[in-house]
Structure 1
Amino acid sequence: MKVLLTAVNSKYIHSNLAVRYLKQFTSELDYECTIREFSINDRIENILEEIMLEKADVVAFSCYIWNMEYINRLAELIKLVNDKIQILYGGPEVSFDCENFLKEHVGEFLITGEGEETYKEFIEYKLERRKLETIRGLYYKTENDVKFNGFRPQIDMNNLVFPYTMDDNSIENKIVYYEASRGCPFRCKYCLSSTIEGVRFLNVERVKKELKYFMDKGVRLVKFVDRTFNCNHNFAKEIWKYLMEQNTNTTFHFEISADILRDDEIELLSKAPYGRFQFEVGVQTTNDEVLANINRHISFNDIKGRVSKIAQRGNIKQHLDLIAGLPGEDFQSFKKSFNDVHSIGPEEIQLGFLKLLKGSSMREEALKWGIVYSPYAPYEILRSKDISYEELLQLKKAEEMVDKYYNSGKFNNIIKFFNHKFETPFDFYFELGSFFEKKGYFKRNIGNVEYYKVFLDFNEEKLNSENQEALKEIIKYDYLCFNKKKWLPDFLIRDLDKNEERRIKDSIKEQYDSNNYHIEKFRLDINKYISDSGIKFSPSYFIFDVKNPNNIISITEYEQIN
């Protein structure tokens, strides 16, 4: 008997934790189990072919809001090709309203909630070691109906197996997911974690051992899926301290609640090696009344104070989340929330949109707040009594600008040029998004170079070409920091002539290998601009490391090297 555990991830670089748990949890059973991972960006015909070539008796799908529609189509195609293949569903997207889902879709079985023990008993049933009627947590079709044997208690975390193996080379160059706890102490109305009672933790020594596995394999990024990693202060401190002591290039990503960070934790984190940790902080809104509406009894000032303290050291990348469409928050309130978060200066700002997930209390309160949402996954808000559909569309355009320009970190100096020219940072991204829409850029793919040139056109149209020549120099600097050095787009000017370049190379040849470094001249005093945003036309010279974009050397006085 063969089971194909199938994951359809949102991106190629992602990996699926759930299917690995299931395989390892049943490793002692005598059956053939194969994991195949795909992406929603793959052609469905290609995935179907790959699945059929496996010749499995059961195809099991890991279901989430981002892949449910895709999986529904895929399951139907599988049945059309070979209706003897049985289909098993599991995951958060099918763990609510399970009976109706199974009635309305092809497939025979559905696991609700935590699936490890239920899946193991299901395999025992397929191996004729257990009766179907004894498996709790499993929905299954009979000739005339869908039956359910009752819910299963939460799994003891100590019974979980480590989902990865030393020979699992599929995680190389992927984002790897790991959990040290299940559950969340908070009851946010939009989150499915609010439906789980309590928080359960793995043994801290076991967690250390398992994290060592990732470091030994050279995994680039490990993302903890724990909903609030720092809710147990002693546990969090011990893990952080252990990871800080390791000699590794692996980065560890945690979702934390910043408002409950203690001073001793912030002091510890200030000593972390640069790049070892990155934090995702769910701000959601800075409107305290709206926070109360979603059952988050915190103050933005508490979040801001602690996030700002972490930012002072500059060693931990912080990703702050906002959600548009929350009950009680209109367009102007969200605009203020964005500006409040932007004032902290986090490395990334994520603008999400409210999703009314199956099983969440927010879905139950939709009528109360006048929220209309899509009946299709991911069940995103369309409008409410506080914010219109048109306003949400405007926010989506601004969100694309924030994600492309702010979050990439590749346009920081260009953004600084514009920020003080608009009343608020939000106004800049809003106007830039409107400009993109007017030019039709949202409806076609534009190349990397064009993303830079947009700013010259935007400045010309919106600000009457104010300091246009200075802007060209700033764009040139940001462009060279992250792109090939030997070639410049035709809208940027290369001022360094061959004789001047030769003299500079001769003067620095004892320090720098000219084959690995690129020299560029700027008409603008770039150092002054970076330090205080001052616009001063004075020649400045920089040496760009071709192999390491973070290594940029300023030649402050050209006369000294002649």
Structure 2
Amino acid sequence: MRILLTAINSKFIHSNLAVRYLRNFTKDMDYEPIVREFSINDREEKILEEIIKEKPGVVAFSVYIWNVEMVSRISNLIKSVDENIEILYGGPEVSFDSSKFLENNVGEYVIEGEGEKTYRDFVSFKLGLMKLAEVRGLHYKDKNTVYSNEKRPLMSMDEISFPYEDNEDLSNKIVYYEASRGCPFNCKYCLSSTSHGVRFLDINRVLKELKYFIDKEVRLVKFVDRTFNCNHKFSMAIWEFLINQNIKTQFHFEISADILKDEEIKLLAKAPEGRFQFEVGVQTTNDEILRNINRFVNFSDIKEKVEELMSIKNIKQHLDLIAGLPEEDYNSFVNSFNDVYKIKPEEIQLGFLKLLKGSSMREEAEKYGMKFSPYPPYEILRTDSISYDEIIKLKKVEEMVDKYYNSRKFNNIIAYFERKFKTPFDFYYSLGEFFDQKGYFNKNIGNVEYYKVFLDFNNEILKDDNSILIEILKFNYLIFNKKRGLPEFLRTGITKEEEKILKDNLRDKYSFKEYYLEKFSIDIETYVLYEEILKKDSYYLFNNSGEYISVKHS
């Protein structure tokens, strides 16, 4: 018997934990499990072709909000090609209305909740070793009638199999890893709030498994633990182990900053730069709104710890905000944005509330006048406190922040504009409105155009002179882009005579196949260090690594 464990990931570089768990939890059984991974950017016809080519008896799909509609369509196509192929669904998107999902879709089976043991029993059923009605946690369809078996209790983490294989090529993948399941908190918008308590893997096993990723030289390992640092001793042991490794692998953790202990921060200060990335769910800086979603913490506590981490300068931090929370209006969210922006983390994510199936937030939607899309990802449209038009305004800001701030490629340009606006939000909102007016949200624009937008914005909206801005744009462009062939709108600089004199003086020390020479009408170093504009001719060499060297004109 061949079962095709099928993952349709949101990006090609992602890896899927679920299908690997199921395969390795049943490795000792007398059947043939096959893992195939695709992405939502693949053509459905091609995915269908690859599935049918495997000649499976059962196709098992891992279903999430980002792929459920695609999975439904592909399932219909599978049945059109061969109605004898059975379909099994599992995952968070089918775990809270399993019977209804099965009623409304083709296919025979749905696993509810944790899948490993239920899937193992399902395989036993297919091998004739169990009756279908005995498979706890399974919903099944027989002659268009859906039956629901007894629910399955949560399993011990000690029973979980390590999901990866020795021969797997993970070099071009973001690899996901799970050291614990569950969350100690009860945030209303999160599915983790539907189960209580946290279960941990044995710490010695975790360290052994992390060595697997290190030996394979995996680029990035993302822990999927909902609150990684909820167990002080557990997180300390893992961080200390990873700090002491001589490796290039990066590790990403979702943490609750407010519960970080001084001892943990002292340890983290020893981490090599870039070894760790932290994702911190701020959600809102309005403490009253935090209470509405069962987050009993003050923003001041979160800020204090985030700033302590910022001060040690070796950990990249990603701070999340959520728009559309109960009773948070537009102005409150704008204040939250400005509060978080002042911290200047490496990344800021403006998310929008998703009313997930099974979450208590969905159950309370009517209480707060919440209207949300009935289609995945079930995103908020409006509430009693924030209108649809205001949500759209925030979406424009989100795109500007993601493209310009989070890319870290426009920092010097952003600094130039920030002083021209009352608040950071005002700048991103104004830039987003300009993007919209120009129709840039509705078409793909090239890399060069993302720089030129600033000139047009400065000229048309702020009605300022572009001469200084051009110098800053040119500098930023040369750090992050090819040095040859500057765009026409940035060509202001060096004369052929100046270039010849400088190159003759520098040729013994620098190869001009590797370095590009450019002149600026402001002192670039003063601007980069202090954000001060000092009109003064300056000359710099740029290489392909983003490094720049100041040179003197004699």
With normalisation by structure 2, the TM-score equals: 0.98
Distance 1:238 1:136 in 2: 36
- The aligned residue for residue 275 of structure 1 is 274
Secondary structure, aligned partner of 1:379: coil
1:511 to partner: Cα distance: 4.3
The letter for the 2-side match of 1:522 is F
Q: Cα gap change, 1:316/1:4 in structure 2, threshold over 3 Å: closer, same or farther?
A: same
- Deviations along 1:68-115, one digit per CA (max 9) or x if unpaired, are 111111111111111111000000000001111111110000001010
Amino acid at match of 2:488: D
TM-superposed deviation, 1:242: 0.6
Which residue of 1 is the match for residue 408 of structure 2?
Answer: 409
How far residue 258 of structure 1 moved from its aligned partner, in angstroms, is: 0.3
Per-residue CA distance 1:162-186 (angstroms, 9 max, x = gap): 10011111x2211110010000000
Deviations 1:512-545 (A, max 9, x none): 4433222222111111111222112211222222
Counterparts of 1:513 and 1:261, CA distance in 2? 49
Partners of 1:511 and 1:218 in 2: CA distance: 36
Amino acid at match of 1:128: G
Residue type of the alignment partner of 1:268: L
What's 2:120 paired with?
A: 120
Query: SS of the residue aligned with 1:491?
Result: helix
Name the structure 1 match of 2:229: 230
After superposition, the C-alpha distances for 1:124-145 in whole angstroms (9 at most, x for unaligned) are 1111122111110111112252
2:133 is matched with which residue? Answer: 133
- Structure 2 gap ranges (5+): none
SS at match of 1:368: helix
Identity over aligned pairs, percent: 62
- C-alpha distance in 2, partners of 1:512/1:203? 55
- Cα displacement string for residues 16-41 of structure 1 (whole angstroms, at most 9, x for unaligned residues): 11111111111111211111111111
CA distance in 1, matches of 2:90, 2:144: 22
Secondary structure at the aligned position of 2:117 is classed as: helix
CA distance in 2, matches of 1:453, 1:347: 24
Alignment length (residue pairs)? 554
| Matched residue type, 1:553 | I
Q: Are residue 519 (structure 1) and residue 502 (structure 2) matched? A: no
- Counterpart for residue 536 of structure 1: 534
Distance 1:316 1:503 in 2: 43
Find the aligned partners of 2:37 and 2:537 in 1 and give their Cα distance: 53
Going from structure 1 to structure 2, the CA distance change for 1:127 and 1:400 (only over 3 Å counts) comes to same
Instruction: Give the distance between the partners of 1:216 and 1:545, measured in 2 at CA.
Output: 32
Could you tell me how far apart the structure 1 residues matched to 2:86 and 2:526 are? Answer: 67
TM-score in terms of structure 1 length: 0.97
Q: Does 1:152 align with 2:152?
A: yes
Q: Which residue of 1 aligns with 2:30?
A: 30
Give the whole-Å Cα distance in 2 for the aligned partners of 1:479 and 1:79. 52
Superposed CA RMSD in Å reads 1.2
For structure 1, which segment, 156-165 or 498-507, has the greater mean C-alpha deviation from structure 2 after superposition? Answer: 498-507
- Offset at 1:54? 1.2
Range moving further from structure 2, 127-136 or 190-199: 127-136
3-state SS, counterpart of residue 210 of structure 2: helix
Whether 2:549 is the aligned partner of 1:553: answer yes
Q: CA deviation at 1:196?
A: 1.4
Matched letter for residue 441 of structure 1: Y
Instruction: Please name the residue that 1:251 is paired with.
Output: 250
Please give the per-residue CA displacement for 1:355-391, whole angstroms capped at 9, x wherever unaligned: 0000000000000000011111110011110001111
Whole-angstrom distance in 2 between the partners of 1:111 and 1:451: 46
Q: Distance in 1 between matches of 2:60 and 2:48?
A: 13
Going from structure 1 to structure 2, the CA distance change for 1:212 and 1:511 (only over 3 Å counts) comes to farther
Structure 2: distance between partners of 1:498 and 1:268: 54
Separation in structure 1 between the aligned mates of residue 197 and residue 281 of structure 2, nearest angstrom? 20
Whole-angstrom distance in 2 between the partners of 1:504 and 1:32: 69
Residues of 2 paired with 1:542 and 1:126: CA distance?
A: 70
What residue in structure 2 maps to residue 472 of structure 1? 470
Q: Match for residue 343 of structure 1?
A: 342
Whether contact under 8 Å (1:7, 1:36) holds in the other structure is yes
- In structure 2, do the counterparts of structure 1 residues 28 and 510 end up closer, same or farther at CA, with 3 Å as the change threshold? farther
Contact kept, 8 Å, 2:493 with 2:519, in 1: the verdict is yes
Counterpart residue number, 1:192? 191
**Residue equivalent to 1:21:** 21
- Kindly indicate whether residue 290 of structure 2 is the aligned counterpart of residue 291 of structure 1: yes
Where does residue 500 of structure 1 map in the other structure?
Answer: 498
Q: Is the 8 A contact 1:285 1:291 kept in 2?
A: yes
CA distance in 2, matches of 1:511, 1:256: 48
